[in-house]
Structure 1
């Protein structure tokens, strides 16, 4: 089903449902530091397409409440059976028999790209991870538009993908106007052999653009080149090597040190964020 097709009021198609504990930790901690979450008067966050288990919604709430104790996370899934299972998991959380707070501000309901919410509420953040991988690239903009239209006026959509263990993560920040703002790569540095591994987990809008002549290809190639050049810094550890590589990119006028996504303070976490203009398709 295409993003624009509606079945029983729900827009989208059922994902594979792959869910692993701690899989989305990298994007969660990025959202936790985002100014939108910190400043919004209504810290409602959507976990769109959470999969076969509601665990990512519980983890998201647990991480965000450290910044916003009043945060509220609502998990949305197209498959009614997945919603039923997540509601059962919520009952377990409420009983106090899980690692999550029994008073966790989490709820679940059926929904897709239309992001249905009661009382006309509009979320500050919509996180849609590993949702668009099965769609065609031409369908991405329409999906962004539908989801972003439901966000608060200053809210954001965080759309991306990751590997099964959450060691390779990439995501795009999209504004409420449905326009992409930044691309972030977040990699586990401890066993990183090459940052080019991020190429296989790029969001759908970019994964087929990693070819010569495209900006994202040039960015990844430059990052790989500086990573190789920074090999001597690995004597001091992988984090120092990563920071040296990104410092060299910044010196070469790649826009990796800006405030978007936290700038240099995020490098030590294995992250790098660039403006969308640096990687936008159609170079």
Structure 2
């Protein structure tokens, strides 16, 4: 890992919109899905909150949530805007630091000797062109430890709807859709939160469009279960979806308002990954 940040960090300053608990659904999934890798790390694992925004809440929350899995985890909030870094340093504590940087992930010398265990880039690439996604993914994945994970995706302003891609050092693995079910009219409402790699591909002929179409159909068929709860309706719809799409999770995650699909099934035709 580099010992110091380059003179010009890689990336562009984002709008910086952030709210407490905005990424709680993503964090909950991370703790469950990546907890074993965090626990296996032979050294204190390093996690990065890339592009945390105008306020440091998401980095603070990431530390608190990951420490329920691995108490010695260290979190770095990385921001390209030096004024945001300076403001965030008032929130530093043992295990939490803020540094200026971008896609190069400029951790200090001695940090993450095996690579970074976790990088979370939420609402960062949405402002970039679709053609810039694959190079950014490759740059970030190159910083991962052998069992590391990159999460890149988008959510709404208060964390009700999320879609994210999970990537390992080799590239994209899965896509996860997550929602506060009480606010969801149809699963295709999540289309507005598709990450940059997919949002322009929600058109006929593309796999993600077919997936959301099938999801809406399964949701409509499961309507009678809505009398029990939105959760029961979601679980029944996802169970029906699992007969034709390669889901990687099961009822325990479905009950959380989530569903995870293999990337290969949704990958854009001729797109990244």
TM (normalized to structure 2)?
0.92
Corresponding residue number in structure 2 for 1:20: 19
Q: How far apart in 1 are the matches of 2:213 and 2:122?
A: 25
Q: 1:163 to 1:138 in 2, by over 3 A?
A: same
Q: How far apart in 1 are the matches of 2:108 and 2:181?
A: 42
Q: Which residue, 35, 48, 61 being the options, matches 2:50? A: 48
Corresponding residue number in structure 2 for 1:97: none
- Measured against aligned partners, the alpha-carbon deviations of 1:53-92 in whole angstroms (never above 9, x if no partner) come to 11100101111111111111110000000001100233xx
1:39 is displaced (CA, Å) by 2.2
Check if 1:275 corresponds to 2:266: no
TM (normalized to structure 1)?
0.88
| Stretches of structure 1 lacking an aligned partner (at least 5 in a row) | 1-5, 95-102
Check if 1:234 corresponds to 2:234: no
Q: How far apart in 2 are the matches of 1:155 and 1:228?
A: 38
Corresponding residue number in structure 1 for 2:28: 29
Secondary structure of residue in 2 paired with 1:138: helix
On the 8 A contact 1:234/1:241 being kept in 2, the answer is: yes
How many residue pairs were aligned?
A: 260
On the 8 A contact 1:31/1:37 being kept in 2, the answer is: no
| Stretches of structure 2 lacking an aligned partner (at least 5 in a row) | none
Q: How far apart in 1 are the matches of 2:26 and 2:200?
A: 22
Aligned-residue Cα RMSD (Å) equals 1.5
Q: Which residue, 207, 215, 223 being the options, matches 2:199? A: 207
Q: How far apart in 2 are the matches of 1:216 and 1:36?
A: 29
Deviates more, 1:110-119 or 1:33-42: 33-42
Q: How far apart in 2 are the matches of 1:118 and 1:79?
A: 18
Secondary structure of residue in 1 paired with 2:37: helix
Secondary structure of residue in 1 paired with 2:127: coil
Q: How far apart in 2 are the matches of 1:40 and 1:215?
A: 36
**Regions of 4+ moved over 6 Å:** none
Secondary structure of residue in 1 paired with 2:125: coil
1:277 is displaced (CA, Å) by 1.1
- Measured against aligned partners, the alpha-carbon deviations of 1:114-162 in whole angstroms (never above 9, x if no partner) come to 0011225221000000000110100000001111111112211110010
Corresponding residue number in structure 2 for 1:170: 163
Corresponding residue number in structure 1 for 2:245: 254
